Amino acid sequence: MTDALAIAIAQVNPTVGDVDGNGARIAALRREAPACDLIVAGELALSGYPPEDLVLKDAFQARVASVAEALARETADGGPALLLGAPWTEDGAVHNAALLLSQGRIAGVRFKHDLPNYGVFDEKRVFAAGPLPAPLAFRGVNLGVMICEDMWTPPVARHLAGAGADVLIALNGSPFEADKVRTRQRLASARSDEAALPLIYVNLVGGQDELVFDGASFAVNTGGRLAVRAPAWAEGITGCRLLRTNGAGWTAAGGTLAAAATGLEAIYMAMCVGLADYVNKNGFPGVVIGLSGGIDSALTAAVAVDSLGAARVHCVMMPSPYTSPESLEDAAEVARLLGVSLDQVSIEPAMAAFRDMLAPLFAGRAPDITEENIQARCRGLVLMAISNTFGRMVLTTGNKSEMSVGYSTLYGDMCGGFSVLKDIYKTTVFALARWRNQQRPPTARGPAGRVMPERVIVKPPTAELRPNQTDQDSLPPYDLLDRVLALLIEDEASLDEVTARGFDAAMVRRVWQMLDRAEYKRRQAPPGVKITPRAFGRDRRYPITNGFTRLV
């Protein structure tokens, strides 16, 4: 019987579908790890998470099995064993599984019991639920292995404790949300207390489409005593030592306690990691951004430079007759501060061409929003032409407030491959811009100090599609709008519930109607980094054709 077990927490950044590459990275981490007994990687680390319908392909399942068996053979070298997540087929059913690879073989398999089917999770679509798991025996220690959702409610942890587990190990693919770190630690502490066992929580890291995983793995003892915390946003190994004490069972010994990433820093890092992995994993050489002189495009450019480096960011200013001299100056200053190239392409000739082309059809009609939308679409056309020619992906710059109420133009400012502000309300855009002007994340590739002039932050937001236009001509002030939107979207509050908070009833109804009517636009928007619990897309699914509006 052993009295100590050295565990290495492996935060892995997998690419969904790249089973060979993921296996090679896990093998490399195993070789790099300090002497230990067991290396633990996160949920579905071998396939990437979420694999979605890939797991329904026989060829994909066979590849996962082949790479898992190859990794298992490597453990015959006398080095550490591996505990990792992978999709696994048994008796014709595909499971979300944990595999224990030890002494040259697959020594044990456990299946996820509680399959989530809410928000971004559709696991019941592709996986079969497993039974309540038994502990895995490993070198004299009974490992109580849980997979992600199994830890969020009491039954699995209680079952494992009753079955003789000595320690709880939770393999996770837990996507980032603002302040979710506290939620995870609170729930892990609750499971640890209920089972009277230490708990090791191992998370993935990196971006996958709209999801981003922040790592921040940890070990906790009963009473909420944090023993170990791995760095957020970083792939790598963090040690955790389990000790048996006379008559008191097992305890996680104190170790590395990396600083927790919270608040605006965590949101900014999520945007950077999400963008970098989307661009790099999909093989784009860089990005192109329409730099307007406004705060949204300035913040988008800052995130792009911090994620990818200035050489991979191409900015374009596309003035119209309504573009102010201040906007031209501000765009140029943003580009100078960030060190990016800035080209200027006037859309005035295109506007004139469309005006002449459509004159016979529009004869006798006064200009209206059609002409404004044409300007946005001219800009979209320029950006897509640059993207097609140079291969760089267009970044859209719209924020969540605008997307909520449809303050955007299809095939105009909405065109592009990815949006870092998609789940960021306008008031948070202002806060992030001020934060980045004062702070430089440690992993940032961009400069220290200011990344945009103060005027970009303080001037009234405007699309500059007509003379003297501001956003507040057609929208409530953003501090009011965002509070109402958060209640309607994140809290699913009714109109009466929002009004009861002291907001004007007519304004609330108008915002709700704009939110409802813009669903068709959001369905055609590019993916973007998930920040809130109710990001547009898989988190919030409403019908486009929707008669309920007329009933309320």
Active site members: 43, 112, 148
Q: What are phi and psi of 165, to 5 degrees?
A: -65, 145
> How many Cα atoms occupy the beta-carbon half-sphere of 341 within 13 Å?
8
User: How far is Cα 194 from Cα 161, in angstroms, rounded to an integer?
Assistant: 9
Grouping H, G, I as helix, E, B as strand and the rest as coil, residue 105 is strand
The C-alpha angle with vertex 30 and arms to 26 and 35, in degrees rounded to 5, equals 160
* DSSP secondary structure string for all residues of 456-493: HHHSPP---SSTT--GGGTS--HHHHHHHHHHHHTS--
| C-alpha–C-alpha distance, residues 469 and 316, integer Å | 22
- Which string of DSSP letters, residue by residue, matches 203-232? E-EEEETTEEEEB--EEEEGGGEEEEEPPB
Cα–Cα distance measured from residue 208 to residue 275, given in angstroms and rounded to the nearest whole number: 10
Strands 81-90 and 38-40, how do they pair?
parallel
Burial of 483: CB neighbours in 10 Å, binned 0-12, 13-18, 19+: middle
- Sign of the dihedral through C-alpha 20, 22, 25, 26: negative
Q: Residue 348: CB partners within 8 Å, gap ≥ 6?
A: 319, 320, 321
- The answer to whether residues 196 and 168 touch, using CB atoms and an 8 Å cutoff, is no
409 DSSP assignment: -
d(CA 109, CA 101): 9
Place of tokens 């202002």: 430
H or E stretch at 11: strand 4-11
Residue whose entry in the numeric block shows the structure tokens 């990818």: 308
Distances in whole angstroms, Cα of residue 128 to Cα of each of 158, 434, 474? 22, 47, 49
Residues 6+ apart with CB under 8 A from 164: 135, 142
